[in-house]
Amino acid sequence: MVGKKIFIGIDSGTQGTKGVVFDLASGEILAESYALHGMLEDNEGKREQYPEWWIVACEKVISDLVSQSNVNAKDVEAIGVSGQQHGFVPLDKDGEVIRPAKLWCDTSTTAQCETITKNAGGPASVVNAIGNSVAAGFTASKVLWLAENEPENYDKLATILLPHDYINYWLTGEKKTECGDASGTAYFDVANRRWSDKLLMAMDPSGKLSDCLPELIESDLPVGSVRPELAKEFGFKKGVLVSSGGGDNMIAAIGTGNVRPGVVTASLGTSGTIYAYSDKPVIDSEGELAAFCSSTGGWLPLVCTMNVTIATELTKNLLELNTARLNSFAERANPGSDGLLLLPFFNGERTPALPDSRATLYGLTSANYTPDNVCRSAMEGATFGLRYGLDVMRRQGVNPSEVRLVGGGAKSPLWRQIVADIFGCPVVRPMAAEAGALGAAIQAIWCYMHNLGENISMGELTDRYVIMDEARGLQPISANVELYNEIYEKYLKLDKALRPVYA
């Protein structure tokens, strides 16, 4: 009896690791698993994790997946890995982790962003060199932070890996990366798809950093094969491929079918992202739009905000609610939350670039300060932050006719309607809830087929395997669109008025 051909997709995010087993023939997800991560944080912007936590989570997830009764580990052909972008994993000459990884949401490196930008000739010079600005979320400032704050650890630095690269390294023993995730480092030339000597020298004029970078490979190539000892542990056959993988946004783009021009994806996760595929670089002279590469051989202009479900999670904790009750409270509130307006900058903000900003709840009166309004304003405020990002994309000619919504917040019908109303365009959700893990599995299929000599396009694969839940699609409500446009103008004025006090 001929076995199935199955593929594993891993999505290692900030809060935890998800995994799926995907069947090539049926297009079905056969099994799913999840494991949580911890966090090291303080009130000064520190957000770190031990990379070992990701590995422990991956081991648990893969073991869970292949232990299912309908899954045979010997049928696994390839694995794809999606990882949180921008994290800095420093390795010594022996390939050992030197210290905890600083994450995308770590804002303690603002001063280093300014130093690198100045050394590279100023903001315009930086954008001209790499297509992006040096944002606090990106990897570059974290590397300089290590040099300035832990020089003994910097002296040990031999290899710089991103989170998904490190998981691939654990799986294969190979230190490689691809253009999608590499383009979020702020030392990668997005237009020309290569490392930027100018930015690397601005970080360290000794030239050391060029020798610390992993090999750059194309997105349809394998990093390598699963190490024999791991293959034995999981029950895999010899030669299971590990695809190039990519950053979480690049891989979620695959998982939502965002691999051709015209599709826009928005994610309601811990952070919020909006992105669209392009056949050419899309570079914002003001540096607010991230001019990323895709993990499919193209480009993925993207805007990221740092505060989305963090707003609702903090509200849940404050009011001692579960998710169902949060939604129930918010549903009882009127659109606009009776004048309550949240600027949700709990973790500082990336777009607009306000790393020292703080959250503000504005418009409180004795009548509107209710749990219902507080819950709805958390959803609305986070969505206004995303609306700012959408407007940045619109300035670059990206105008969505439909938004494909993913992330934890997308599970809420109310929040999906709020997004449709604030964005002013239809919203649809993919049938598969875990776009990152599904996208990783599809990229693994792409890599596997190309390795066999089959020249299939990514678009053909996503047309086959990415299905939209059209029945639960939502149209904007015209009265709400008009109301939210007015409130959004107030949101922008409030943000502008508060900027002088952020410090």
- 403, 387 in Cβ contact below 8 A? no
Residues 35 and 95 in one domain: yes
pLDDT digits (tens, 9 = 90+) for 166-220: 999 999 999 999 999 999 999 999 999 999 999 999 999 999 999 999 999 999 9
Cα angle vertex 454, ends 452, 456, to 5°? 135
Rounded CA-CA distance 9/444 in Å is: 8
Do residues 200 and 319 both lie within one domain?
no
Residues 6+ apart with CB under 8 A from 188: 130, 179, 182, 194, 195, 196
Retrieve residue 60's tokens: 């648990």
Residue 373 in tokens: 């309004």
Q: Quick one: tokens of 30?
A: 């056969």
DSSP 260-317: STT-EEEEESSSEEEEE-BSS----TTS-SEEEEPSSSSEEEEEEES-SHHHHHHHHH
- The backbone torsions φ and ψ at residue 241, rounded to the nearest 5 degrees and listed phi first, read -75, 150
Question: What is the residue range of 80's domain?
Answer: 6-250+435-465
Q: Rounded to an integer, what distance in angstroms lies between the CA atom of residue 252 and that of residue 406?
A: 8
Which ranges in 336-477 belong to alpha helices (H)? 371-395, 413-423, 435-451, 458-465
- CA-to-CA dists, residue 25 to 22, 240, 269, 369, angstroms: 9, 18, 31, 54
1 found inside a domain: no
| Residues 119 and 234 placed together within one structural domain of the fold | yes
- Residue 240 in domain: yes
321 assigned to some structural domain: yes
Residue 89: inside a domain, yes or no?
yes
Q: Distance (Å, rounded) from C-alpha 441 to C-alpha 448?
A: 10
In a shared domain, residues 221 and 310: no
Q: Which residues of the chain have pLDDT under 70?
A: 1-2, 503
Query: Rounded to two decimals, what is the model's pTM?
Result: 0.87
User: In sequence order, which residues have a C-beta less than 8 Å from that of residue 194 and are 6 or more positions away?
Assistant: 188, 216
Sign of the C-alpha dihedral computed for residues 172, 173, 179 and 185 taken in this order: positive
Strand, helix or coil at 120? coil
The one-letter amino acid code at 493 reads K
Q: How far apart are CA 89 and CA 73, in angstroms?
A: 30
Is 279 inside a domain boundary? yes
Q: How far apart are CA 11 and CA 163, in angstroms?
A: 11
Considering the domain architecture, whether residues 276 and 186 belong to the same structural domain is answered as no
* Same domain assignment for residues 439 and 499: no
Task: Find, among 191, 386, 399, 189, the residue nearest to 282 by Cα.
Answer: 191
- Tell which residue, 113, 110, 115, has the closest CA to residue 46: 110
Q: Are 277 and 260 in contact (CB under 8 A)?
A: yes
- Answer whether 462's CB lies under 8 Å from 35's CB: no
Residue 1's pLDDT is 37
37 and 85: one domain? yes
**Domain membership flag for residue 458:** yes
- 224's torsion region: left (phi>0), alpha (psi -120 to 50) or beta? left
56 alpha-carbon distance from chain centroid: 21
What does the alpha-carbon distance between residue 195 and residue 213 come to, in Å, rounded to a whole number?
9
What are the tens digits of pLDDT across the range 215-257? 999 999 999 999 999 999 999 999 999 999 999 999 999 999 9
* CA atoms of 386 and 405, how far apart (whole Å): 12
User: How many helices (DSSP H) and strands (DSSP E) are in the chain?
Assistant: 17, 24
Q: Tell me the chain's radius of gyration from C-alpha atoms.
A: 22
Are 269 and 308 spatial neighbours (Cβ–Cβ below 8 Å)? yes
- Together in a domain, 136 and 284: no
Structural tokens at position 378: 């958390």
What would the two tokens of residue 123 be?
């903001």
Residue 43 located in a structural domain: yes
Q: Do 221 and 278 fall within a single domain? A: no
For residue 105 the two structure tokens come to 């949401």
Instruction: Tell me the residue type at 193.
Output: R
Residues designated as active site: 248
Residue of 133, 108, 132 lying closest to 47 (CA atoms): 108
| Residues 6+ positions from 286 with CB-CB distance below 8 Å | none
Nearest alpha-carbon partner for 435 in 410, 418, 415: 410
- 132 and 69 part of one domain: yes
Angle between helices 413-423 and 323-332 (to 10 degrees): 50
CA distance 53 to 146: 21
In this structure, the answer to whether residues 393 and 452 fall within a common structural domain is no
Q: Is 235 left (phi over 0), alpha (psi -120 to 50) or beta?
A: left
- CATH code: domain of residue 353: 3.30.420.40
Q: How many domains, in total, are found in the chain?
A: 2
Q: Is the residue at 42 inside a domain?
A: yes
Q: Phi and psi for 93 in degrees, rounded to 5? A: -65, -20
d(CA 222, CA 239): 11
CA distances from 501 to 46, 57, 153, 292, 356 (A): 21, 41, 35, 32, 10
Asked if 167 and 226 sit in the same domain, the reply is: yes
Q: How is residue 449 written in tokens? A: 């087929």
